[in-house]
Amino acid sequence: MVSFEYYNPVRVIFGCGESSRIGEIAHDFGKKALIVTYEQHAFLKHILERTEEILLNKDMVVFNCFNITANPMISQINTGIEICRQENIDVIIGIGGGSVMDASKAIGIGTFYSGDVWDMFMSRHDCIRDVKPQKSLPTIMIPTLPATSSEMNNIAVATNDSTCEKSYICHNIVYPDISIIDPEITCLLPKYQSACGAVDAISHLLEAYFNCVPDTPLQDRLQEGTILTIMELIPKILNDPYNKTLRANMQWASTISWNGWLQAGINPGSPMHQIGHVISARFGVTHGATLGIIMPSFFRYVLNHRVERFAQFGRRIFNLNGSDVDIAKKAIDMFESFIASVGVQTRLSQVGIIESDIKAIAEDVERVSCDEKGHLPSVPPVGKKDIENILRLAL
Ligand SMILES: [Fe+2]
């Protein structure tokens, strides 16, 4: 375990029906609210109408920024920033999944930055533009998709429309002020979104599990327990989507999968996300699906470097017995089968990506996310050639 500092100021309000408290909660921040949600928001019609009505009944003035797409674009974020500046917005309310919550965070910090908000997304990767957020408008999240943990973490991911780069910002100012997690809302989620969200949440745990420092038994057990819980829940949810108890357990599992608790003291990297981000940015593939595709291939590629770790995964998640090597290989096969069984892609060919696309994807990953030595922060570190090989395994 390594030294760490942990800070998470998000006030979480959890429970079925709790989103009806948005009026009293938002009113504490002022009179003018900006609701941020998707461009295609028909499936959220009820919650959006109800939220607006509750806010109006509290004598609040409501503005809308209904333009966010999956993999939110900087141009969409800039629209929200303009509204906040022109209308002197007091509080931002993000109603949606990770894309909406990340966009809401970016709007909050971008409102107080005179330059291009994209500078802050690239400052991790570009020492010339080391731009950190100084201030944010208050943000309230009402997550509608259990997946990213954005409702309780200090990360926001966005895509630059002009360059097709997808990058992230990680800073304590980005934490939401309040997250109202109402599992009842997620009962309306389509099956594919539910499954992709579950795969994304598992990927957050596995990024940490396989890309961390050694000798972290407590965090291992916490991660394994959360992975097992999600793997047990998601097939049940797909068969019984209106079951609020299943949805509630799923939503809390996804919230803690990347809110920092299970990553504390293990110094995790997120190499599979960095590869997946480029696939989303270039080909518009759903975030969870990119992880469903990358994870099995990444694991097969690095297997021999840390075989005992994969054997532990196989013993504890799939109850496998035998030699470390046999268990490790079988566990990865079983994990890929699990992803496929819930209807999420596990191969690049399933999303229309072919061999001739691989070089460009690897180059983008190197340009946006690799360190000065050309490596992603993983165990072992992987460079451009490795990324190409991982992608070939995923064809
Ligand atoms: Fe993710």
- Calculate how far, in angstroms, residue 289's C-alpha sits from the geometric centre of ligand 1: 10
Is 360 found in the same domain as 296?
yes
Final residue before a domain boundary, out of 168, 185, 202: 185
Question: Please, are residues 87 and 32 in contact by the beta-carbon 8 Å criterion?
Answer: yes
Q: Running DSSP on this structure, what letter comes out for residue 155?
A: E
**Residue 138 pLDDT:** 98
Query: Do 173 and 222 belong together in one domain?
Result: no
Over its length of 395 residues, how does the chain's per-residue pLDDT go in tens digits? 899 999 999 999 999 999 999 999 999 999 999 999 999 888 899 999 999 999 999 999 999 999 999 889 999 999 999 999 999 999 999 999 999 999 999 999 999 999 999 999 887 654 456 788 999 999 999 999 999 999 999 999 999 988 888 888 999 999 999 999 999 999 999 999 999 999 999 999 999 999 888 899 999 999 999 999 999 999 999 999 999 999 999 999 999 999 999 999 998 889 999 999 999 989 999 999 999 999 999 999 999 999 999 999 999 999 999 999 999 999 999 999 999 999 999 999 999 999 999 999 999 999 888 888 889 988 899 999 999 999 999 99
Say which CATH number the domain at 301 has: 1.20.1090.10
Task: Give the Å distance between the CA of 197 and the centre of ligand 1.
Answer: 8
Q: Which domain holds residue 329?
A: 191-393
Q: Is the domain of 149 the same as that of 249?
A: no
In a shared domain, residues 42 and 169: yes
Does 314 fall in a domain? Answer: yes
- Do residues 63 and 29 both lie within one domain? yes
How much distance in Å is there from the Cα of 87 to the middle of ligand 1? 33
User: Do 96 and 56 have their domain in common?
Assistant: yes
Give all strands of the β-sheet with 32-38 in edge-to-edge order. Answer: 11-14, 178-181, 139-143, 91-96, 32-38, 61-68
Give domain status of residue 5, yes or no. Answer: no
**Which CATH number goes with the domain that contains 109?**
3.40.50.1970
For residues 155 and 105, give the distance between their C-alpha atoms in angstroms, rounded to a whole number: 8
* pTM for the structure as a whole: 0.92
Place of tokens 């990770």: 98
Cα-to-centroid distance, 168 and ligand 1 (Å): 11
Report the C-alpha dihedral over residues 19, 24, 28, 32, rounded to 10 degrees: 80
Give the C-alpha separation, 54 to 104, whole Å: 20
- d(CA 334, CA 346) in angstroms, rounded, equals 12
Locus of tokens 């021999």: 304
Residue 1 covered by a domain: no
Distance in Å, CA 318 to ligand 1 centroid: 23
Percentages helix, strand, coil for the chain, rounded to the nearest 5? 55, 10, 30
Using the mean position of ligand 1's atoms as its centre, give its distance from the Cα of residue 148 in Å.
5
Residue 113 falls inside a structural domain: yes
Does residue 269 sit within a domain? yes
User: Do 284 and 170 fall within a single domain?
Assistant: no
Does some domain include residue 298? yes
**Is residue 384 included in any domain, yes or no?**
yes
- Cα 170 to middle of ligand 1, angstroms: 14
- Where among 169, 185, 201 does a domain terminate? 185
Which pair of structure tokens corresponds to residue 264? 């504390």
| Shared-domain flag, residues 97 and 158 | yes
What separation in Å is there between the alpha carbon of 198 and the centre of ligand 1?
10
CB 74 within 8 A of CB 123: no
Tell how far the Cα of 32 is from the centroid of ligand 1, in angstroms.
31
Q: How far is the CA of 272 from the centre of ligand 1 (A)?
A: 9
Closest by CA position to 80, among listed 186, 158, 173, 187? 158
- The verdict on residue 265 lying in a domain is yes
135 CA distance to ligand 1 centroid (A)? Answer: 25
- Read off φ and ψ for residue 307, nearest 5 degrees: -60, -35
Q: Are residues 230 and 122 in the same domain?
A: no
Residue that terminates a domain, selected from 185, 213, 237? 185
CA of 354 to the centre of ligand 1 (A): 23
The rounded Å distance from CA 363 to ligand 1 centre is 21
The residue type of 131 is: V
CA 27 to centroid of ligand 1, rounded, Å: 31
Distance CA 279, CA 96 (A): 22
Same domain, 175 and 301: no
What separation in Å is there between the alpha carbon of 24 and the centre of ligand 1?
A: 31
- 339 in the same domain as 208: yes
Q: How many domains does the chain have?
A: 2
Ligand 1 geometric centre to CA of 188 (Å): 21
pLDDT computed for residue 131 by the predictor: 86
| Residues 168 and 215 grouped into a single domain | no
210-219 as b/e: b if 16+ CB within 10 A: bbbeeebeeb
Helix or strand or coil: residue 65? Answer: strand
Strand ranges inside the chain, DSSP E: 11-14, 32-38, 61-68, 91-96, 139-143, 155-159, 166-170, 178-181
